[in-house]
Amino acid sequence: MALPADEVLQVSWIVANWRLKALALALTLALLGALAFSENPLEVQSVSAKVQYNLPSGNKLVLTQYQTTVTVPVVGLHDAVERYRATAAGVSLDLQKAHPGPNQTFYARPADVPSGVTLRSASVPITVSIEALQTADLDIEVQTPKVSPGIQVKTSAAVCGNDQGPCKVSVTSAASDLNDLTAYVLYDAPISTAATIETPSQRVLFQQRGRPVDLSQLNRFPAPSWTPPRVTVRIDTQGGTQTKTVPITPTITGIQACGFAIARVDYLPGQFVTVQGPADTVAKLNDVSTDPIDISGLNTNRTYTVALRAPEQVSITPKSAKITLTLNRAFNCAAPSPPPGTSPSPSPTASG
């Protein structure tokens, strides 16, 4: 049966010039392929790949010098290379048989390589330094740099959890990190009264040979760890400051002239002064003394300017005073006795 005219025309359109049409199709496919390749070209690059370190089970080692990334030469399509660059482990380093020592070279192998990427080297050299991993239990010192004058820290302790006594911090890191390492808590709030202070969640800090050290900033694998990271601080203080008014008591030395007596003592600006200092010291203070006032042979009124004296850590206001001594003649002294060995004049005798 003959085909309808319109179907014959369609078939003839397809069959006619088929070679030209096949060429056009091939060119179209080639153009699409070239466009796709331009967006995802083949690359030859050196990629900064992340390193995965595989330490022995029950690890007793710590890396003290190591690389987190290593340069790896690769060939691949752009998208695949970027996936490899972002992978968590571009190469893997097996340290199952490693031992402590400086500057050791091992060879890392490719790891987690996506399809479309080929590494141009089967292994990558990596140099590391390794130390023994150790743990130390350290006492925790409580530092109180802002204690007011007169206040004394009676006891201080770092307490862990519900414990009543002082606790220790357990630190795990390289052996060299633990040498001369000490732990402390810095309580830097002002302490100005006698009280019992309890403050939770105080951060445990460290110092080595007197210098602060931040263990979290040390380049170690695995990273240093310590527990507990925070403690409760308990501080008992005593003392305090006290202010009160006390009289001046002159310190008199020597003996005034014969027959004279001190009739009156006058003080300028006044006989009483203000003292301030540790409560336990000031509470026992009933007066303040002066520098020595020498009245040897004094036979007339005289004014002295003298410094006032008080125990250590006690301040005085004012710091000096003018003291006037008023003398009166109390009696007349007898004539002086003759020097030893001098015979008196002989008494007259009656003639016989």
Tell me the CATH number at 111.
2.170.120.30
Alpha-carbon distance of 159 to 167, in angstroms, equals 5
Alpha-carbon distance of 295 to 265, in angstroms, equals 13
Q: Is residue 321 part of a domain?
A: yes
**128 shares a domain with 46:** yes
**For every one of its 352 residues, what pLDDT tens digit does the chain have, with 9 covering 90 and above?**
555 655 555 555 555 565 555 665 666 555 544 444 446 677 878 888 899 999 998 889 999 999 999 988 888 888 887 888 888 778 999 999 999 999 999 999 988 788 888 888 889 999 999 999 999 999 999 999 999 877 889 999 999 877 777 899 999 999 999 999 999 999 999 998 878 899 999 999 999 999 999 999 999 999 999 999 999 999 998 877 788 999 999 999 999 999 999 999 999 999 999 998 887 788 889 999 999 999 999 999 999 999 999 998 899 999 999 999 999 998 888 756 555 555 454 444 444 3
Q: Is residue 106 part of a domain?
A: yes
- Tell me which of 63, 97, 132 is where a domain ends: 132
Q: Is residue 14 part of a domain?
A: no
**Two tokens at 192?**
């100005």
**121 shares a domain with 111:** yes
Q: Is residue 23 part of a domain?
A: no
**123 shares a domain with 164:** no
**Two tokens at 327?**
């003398």
Q: Is 75 exposed, middle or buried (0-12, 13-18, 19+ CB in 10 A)?
A: middle
Alpha-carbon distance of 190 to 40, in angstroms, equals 65
The model's pTM is 0.59
Total domains in the chain come to 3
What domain range includes position 207?
133-239
**186 shares a domain with 125:** no
Q: Is residue 17 part of a domain?
A: no
**54 shares a domain with 126:** yes
Q: What string of DSSP letters covers 5-71?
A: HHHHHHHHHHHTTHHHHHHHHHHHHHHHHHHHHHHS-EEEEEEEEEEEEEPPTT--EEEEE--SEEE
Alpha helices in the chain (DSSP H): 5-15, 18-39, 78-86, 175-178, 279-282
Q: For the chain, what percentages of helix, strand and coil (3-state, to nearest 5) are there?
A: 15, 50, 35
